[in-house]
Structure 1
């Protein structure tokens, strides 16, 4: 159950982690390629968000090691921390794949999948804040919305692959876009993993 005396430090750090995640996802979904070198700027910027996320993970581990009583089980805090970090890691991987695959523009599929991912991170940020304000009953609704965003990405991914293999004649271009689509789908899957961890926390503490 919740231990009020040690709540704030963990709540603040997890909040900062989700803000960083949300800012990364917003940048990811709003960025527009206008010239070839833009994709390098995009990749480097996402890498900066990921590096900042790694620093938050380190701070969380230090705080967990230094704190005897935690607001919820320390294993749950660490699990949630790691799952949030997984999303950022996957985002960095996807951004790097854009650079490696020499994308010259973001097509409709990429734009739509990125928007769904951004929506999922919105829900993650709100749900995580609810943990430490004792609004656990509200978390499930946000988890369902995360799953809806993931399902939308899954649909876009399947449809994009179908179209790609039916219409693309250039094998190199096919491999490039297949790689990009797979990496975007992976981000959405990691968002769903966050929702599963949130649901587990609700079950343990409701």
Structure 2
């Protein structure tokens, strides 16, 4: 458990550490997409990062059960923790597909998705740091970027799936790509979900 100088549970710092861990996962996923090794070889390492993320979420929930006064509404802290965990779960689920669908290659769509996820997680981390400093208005600069990146994720999925159906190859191969693109797009949605909660916090506290 992390405490502030007053000896209180530091929920905002826990959220920052969770966001840092989520960014670490996104960066590892990008390495998997950009590297020369089969992407599935990164699964165990990413699973460890995902387990660390679960522990942060557990710590936040355990802390909320112990205290009555929190820096934000309890529901906001819970939603931020859960939705942030969803981002990392999505990254882990995406790399898992390389394993159980036996995808041994990457392409430009996958690489571009990995860049979108890293950028989104960088903006999330910056937003959580501003939240801890109560710089609410500045948070919106980052949530706007995250929303734009989610739109980019939509575009990548549409173009990737369009290519599958305009230039079909083996049906099993095409199914694998469609499954992966859709999961990656859902993960960019998860980033936007966190941004939406941050925007609602800004409206109430700014």
CA contact (8 A) 1:83 1:193 kept: yes
Q: More relative contact order in 1 or in 2 (CA 8 Å, sep 6+)?
A: 1
Aligned residue in 1 for 2:142: 142
How far has the Cα of 1:34 moved from its partner? Answer: 3.2
Aligned Cα RMSD in Å?
A: 1.6
2:151 and 2:43 map into 1 onto residues whose CA distance is 26
Unaligned runs of 5+ in 1: none
2:20 corresponds to 1:12: no
Q: In the TM superposition, what are the counterparts of 1:145-160 in structure 2 within 5 Å?
A: 145-160=145-160
CA contact (8 A) 1:116 1:153 kept: yes
- Large movers: runs of 4+ above 6 Å: none
Aligned residue in 1 for 2:49: 49
2:98 and 2:61 map into 1 onto residues whose CA distance is 32
CA contact (8 A) 1:43 1:95 kept: yes
How far has the Cα of 1:39 moved from its partner? Answer: 3.2
Q: For residues 41-80 of structure 1, give each alpha carbon's deviation from its aligned partner in whole angstroms, at most 9, with x where no partner exists.
A: 2111211111111101110011111122101111100110
Aligned residue in 2 for 1:92: 92
Unaligned runs of 5+ in 2: none
CA contact (8 A) 1:43 1:96 kept: yes
Count of matched residue pairs: 201
Q: Compute the TM-score of the two structures, normalised by the length of structure 2.
A: 0.93
How far has the Cα of 1:151 moved from its partner? Answer: 0.6
Secondary structure at the counterpart of residue 13 of structure 1: helix
